[in-house]
């Protein structure tokens, strides 16, 4: 068994007992953000594309879910499908523009495009509820079954998120994933080898968008709310921090990063700092960038756990 | 809708373009030498505004003095930050510079929030600049004309320094070939620190100028930094002239767009950015070889 498999198993066990240890809604938030950070890891850790706009998928699909469940009384499963569809199509449209650029440009452009959705959400407050957001009186049903119990719903989300992690492992091990890594390492050489680099980048962007959309749907259902702060660029920034803090390119790292971020946020907010938790998180993240760039999982996995015979 | 109204909007557009141009100019100068996109540029703008506000509150610093003193103070703060912190990621992928300055932004904004609270503070327009000036066709706030004039002056001065002076020649050379410039005996690390300080000082100057026209808030840099990003992408990353031109142009476009459909004002810059990436990926005045 490789160290990574062990780490995956440990994280999965921790996730299974999580709702018994902490407030179940917080546990669900961790799962949703783990999924978002996983999507970003596929983009940044593998394709080398730092998206600073993942919140546009989270927010938009949260609104879609809230509207369909609250106003149209649709089954949660259908609302989730619709939300993922929204995020996928949005990722396709946005992706066609942003994959023309890489590196620092990619980050700035995704950040700016996400602001278009944010301002649209403020502007069309008759649809989005503006500053109040869209509260949902009920979580509705999922495949006809009631999911009002927080712990039960947590395990539904857990299974879905676990499948997504497995999918991303499969994607990164596929020839497609290998090309993504090649693009990260040397885009010019990948082009020279005859790969249609932009199509691969678009593929990664769309998969990441779909995963982020799923996270948004679950996030809305878990909190029974879709709101402006989900489209806010601070949320995009938080996802970036979770991914890098946990260890980008490790797949399991983003889950650890999401848990560390959310728990840190939770505990710091109960201190004298109150809502200014970003002060501590910013310092931790700055330290991470300066001294610990491979992140938590990257650090754990770089330790030679077994003596290798030479 | 009268032509006079459009003409007044042109001046309003130039006034907001004045801030964009100053911020984009500083961001470009920094990116050119340091290869870092300074995410904390918006926070430096905010610090400029707070510097003016607290300067007036605590020691009665007049606006005219604040215009000089505050940018220097924030510039020194920036140089310290560059020397002790940013320097460490200078040799890495520029992405890490962006991430580090993002973390710094969070720290600065949250410290300011703890100190000043989330409620905005007003800052008075100096007497000499209050009131309106007759432009012939309409009366326009004198203060906004002053902002346009200062911004144009700073932009022209920056252009002259970079294009004509020895310091400018060294800055341009170290953008082109940093190793060679070092080989000629120029102290490039010091040059980089000075440039970062100048860029940040210009952002702080924009903040001092903004203090009398907006609420001074810890989060006041949060949105303008993203507009500035879009503007430097439109102008061409690393092109100083491009940044200045795009700054004024986009301010103008935003104001004119708002005449026809007010809600577009918040997003027009981003829409233009998308069109530019589509048609001219390197930006208005960017060079094609620097597209990636």
Residue B292's pLDDT is 40
What sign for the dihedral angle of Cα B172, B177, B182, B187? Answer: positive
B270 vs A116: CB contact, 8 Å cut-off?
yes
Q: In this predicted model, which residue has the larger pLDDT, A63 or B94?
A: A63
Q: pLDDT tens digits for B40-52?
A: 999 999 999 999 9
**Average pLDDT estimate for A39-49:** 96
Q: Cα A290 from chain centroid?
A: 24
Q: pLDDT tens digits for A204-217?
A: 999 999 999 999 99
Residues of B in contact with A120 (CB under 8 A): 267
Q: pLDDT tens digits for B67-103?
A: 999 999 999 999 999 999 998 887 788 899 999 999 9
- The residue in chain A having the minimum alpha-carbon distance to the alpha carbon of residue B262 is A123
Mean pLDDT across chain A, nearest whole number? Answer: 93
- The residue in chain B having the minimum alpha-carbon distance to the alpha carbon of residue A243 is B99
Residue A144's pLDDT is 85
Residue B251's pLDDT is 95
Minimal C-alpha gap between B142 and chain A (Å) = 31
CA distance A62 to A79: 10
Q: In this predicted model, which residue has the larger pLDDT, A22 or B289?
A: A22
Contacts of B145 (CB under 8 A, 6+ apart): B11, B15, B133
Mean pLDDT across chain B, nearest whole number? Answer: 90
Residue A308's pLDDT is 62
Residue A224's pLDDT is 93
Top residue of B110, B113, B218, B224 to mutate, by most chain A CBs within 10 Å, is B110
B218-to-B23, B114, B123, B221 alpha-carbon distances in Å:
17, 9, 14, 7
A123 vs B266: CB contact, 8 Å cut-off?
yes
A40-to-A175, A185, A212, A215, A287 alpha-carbon distances in Å:
19, 17, 8, 12, 21
Interface residue ranges in chain A relative to chain B, Cβ cutoff 8 Å? 50, 97-98, 100-105, 107-109, 111-113, 115-116, 119-120, 122-123, 187-188, 233, 237, 240-241, 244, 273, 276-279, 281-283, 285-286, 289-290, 293
Q: Give backbone dihedrals phi and psi of B95, rounded to 5 degrees, phi first.
A: -55, -40
What sign for the dihedral angle of Cα B25, B226, A250, A103? Answer: negative
**Average pLDDT estimate for B254-271:** 91
Helix, strand, or coil (residue A140) = coil
Lowest mean pLDDT among A39-43, A287-291, B133-137, B221-225: B133-137
Q: Does the pLDDT at position A310 exceed 70? A: no
**Average pLDDT estimate for B55-76:** 94
CA distance A193 to A197: 10
**Which of B99, B106, B278 lies at the smallest CB-CB distance from A278?**
B106
- The residue in chain B having the minimum alpha-carbon distance to the alpha carbon of residue A104 is B95
Q: Whose structure tokens read 């003016």?
A: B52
The tally of CA atoms less than 13 A away on the side-chain side of residue A28 is 22
**Which of B103, B226, B230 lies at the smallest CB-CB distance from A286?**
B103
Percent of all residues in chain A with a pLDDT value above 70, rounded to a whole number: 99
Q: In this predicted model, which residue has the larger pLDDT, A57 or B279?
A: A57
Residue A12's pLDDT is 95
A104 vs B263: CB contact, 8 Å cut-off?
no
Lowest mean pLDDT among A151-155, A303-307, B269-273: A303-307
Distance linking the first and last C-alpha atoms of chain A: 19
Q: pLDDT tens digits for B151-179?
A: 999 999 998 988 889 888 888 887 778 78
Q: What is the pTM of this model?
A: 0.93
Residue B290's pLDDT is 45
Q: pLDDT tens digits for A83-97?
A: 999 999 999 999 999
Domain ranges in chain B? Answer: 3-221
Q: How many CB atoms lie within 10 A of CB A24?
A: 18
Residues of B in contact with A273 (CB under 8 A): 114
Q: Write out the DSSP string of A194-222.
A: T--HHHHHHHHHHHHHHHHHHHHHHHHHH
Q: Is B273 on the interface with A (CB under 8 A)?
A: yes
Residue A307's pLDDT is 64
**Average pLDDT estimate for A250-262:** 96
Tokens of B73: 């103070």
Q: pLDDT tens digits for B186-226?
A: 888 888 899 999 999 999 999 999 999 888 999 999 989 99
Q: pLDDT tens digits for B113-153?
A: 999 887 777 888 888 888 888 877 778 889 999 999 999 99
Residue B268's pLDDT is 93
Residue A274's pLDDT is 78
Q: pLDDT tens digits for A103-125?
A: 899 999 999 999 999 999 999 99
**Average pLDDT estimate for A67-88:** 95
Lowest mean pLDDT among A147-161, A180-194, B162-176, B230-244: B162-176
Residues of B in contact with A283 (CB under 8 A): 103, 107
- The residue in chain B having the minimum alpha-carbon distance to the alpha carbon of residue A120 is B267
Domain ranges in chain A? Answer: 3-302
The CATH number of the domain covering residues in A3-302: 1.10.3470
CA distance A283 to B104: 8
A107 vs B274: CB contact, 8 Å cut-off?
no
**Which of B98, B270, B277 lies at the smallest CB-CB distance from A100?**
B277
Residue B288's pLDDT is 59
């Amino acid at each position: 068994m490789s160290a990574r498999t062990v780490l995956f198993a440990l994280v999965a066990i921790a996730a299974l007992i999580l709702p018994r240890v902490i407030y179940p809604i917080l546990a669900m938030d961790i799962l949703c953000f783990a999924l978002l950070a996983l999507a970003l890891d596929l983009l940044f850790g593998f394709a080398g594309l730092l998206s600073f706009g993942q919140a546009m998928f989270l927010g938009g699909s949260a609104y879609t879910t809230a509207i369909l469940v609250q106003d149209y009384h649709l089954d949660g499963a259908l609302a989730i499908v619709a939300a993922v569809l929204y995020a996928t199509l949005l990722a396709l449209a946005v992706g066609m523009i942003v994959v023309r650029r890489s590196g620092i440009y990619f980050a700035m452009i995704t950040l700016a495009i996400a602001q278009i959705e944010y301002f649209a959400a403020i502007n069309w407050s008759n649809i989005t509820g503006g500053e109040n957001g869209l509260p949902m009186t009920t979580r509705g049903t999922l495949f006809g079954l009631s999911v009002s119990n927080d712990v039960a719903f947590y395990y539904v989300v857990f299974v879905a998120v676990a499948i997504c992690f497995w999918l991303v492992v499969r994607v990164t091990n596929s020839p497609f994933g290998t090309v993504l890594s090649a693009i990260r390492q040397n885009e010019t050489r990948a082009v020279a080898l005859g790969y249609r680099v932009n199509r691969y980048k678009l593929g990664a962007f769309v998969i990441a968008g779909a995963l982020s959309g799923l996270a948004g749907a679950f996030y809305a259902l878990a909190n029974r709310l879709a709101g402006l702060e989900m489209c806010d660029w601070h949320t995009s920034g938080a996802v970036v921090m979770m991914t890098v803090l946990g260890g980008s390119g490790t797949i399991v790292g983003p889950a650890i990063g999401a848990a560390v971020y959310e728990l840190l946020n939770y505990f710091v907010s109960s201190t004298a700092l109150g809502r200014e938790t970003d002060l501590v998180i910013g310092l931790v993240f700055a330290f991470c960038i300066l001294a610990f760039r491979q992140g938590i999982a990257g650090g754990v996995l770089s330790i030679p756990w077994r003596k290798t015979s030479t | 809708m009268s032509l006079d109204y459009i003409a007044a909007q042109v001046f309003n557009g130039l006034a907001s373009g004045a801030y964009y141009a100053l911020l984009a100019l500083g961001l470009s100068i920094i990116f050119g030498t340091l290869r870092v996109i300074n995410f904390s540029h918006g926070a430096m703008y905010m610090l400029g505004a707070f510097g003016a506000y607290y300067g007036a509150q605590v020691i009665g610093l007049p606006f005219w003095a604040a215009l000089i003193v505050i940018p220097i103070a924030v510039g020194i703060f920036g140089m310290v930050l560059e020397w002790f912190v940013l320097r460490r990621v200078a040799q890495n992928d520029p992405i890490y510079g962006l991430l580090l300055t993002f973390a710094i932004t969070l720290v600065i904004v949250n410290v300011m929030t703890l100190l000043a609270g989330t409620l905005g503070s007003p800052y008075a327009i100096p007497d000499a600049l209050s009131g309106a000036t007759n432009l012939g066709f309409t009366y326009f706030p004198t203060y906004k004309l002053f902002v346009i004039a200062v911004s144009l002056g700073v932009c022209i001065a920056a252009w002259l320094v970079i294009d004509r002076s020895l310091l400018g020649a060294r800055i341009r050379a170290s953008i082109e070939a940093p190793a060679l410039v070092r080989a000629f005996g120029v102290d490039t690390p010091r040059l980089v620190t000075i440039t970062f300080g100048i860029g940040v000082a210009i952002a702080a100057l924009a903040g001092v100028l903004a203090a009398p026209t907006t609420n001074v808030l810890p989060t006041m840099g949060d949105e303008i930094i993203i507009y500035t990003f879009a503007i430097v992408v439109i102008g061409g990353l690393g092109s100083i002239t491009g940044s200045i031109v795009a700054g004024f142009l986009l301010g103008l476009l935003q104001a004119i767009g708002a005449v026809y459909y007010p809600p577009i004002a918040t997003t027009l810059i981003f829409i233009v950015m998308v069109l530019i990436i589509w048609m001219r990926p390197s930006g208005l005045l960017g060079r094609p070889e620097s597209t990636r």
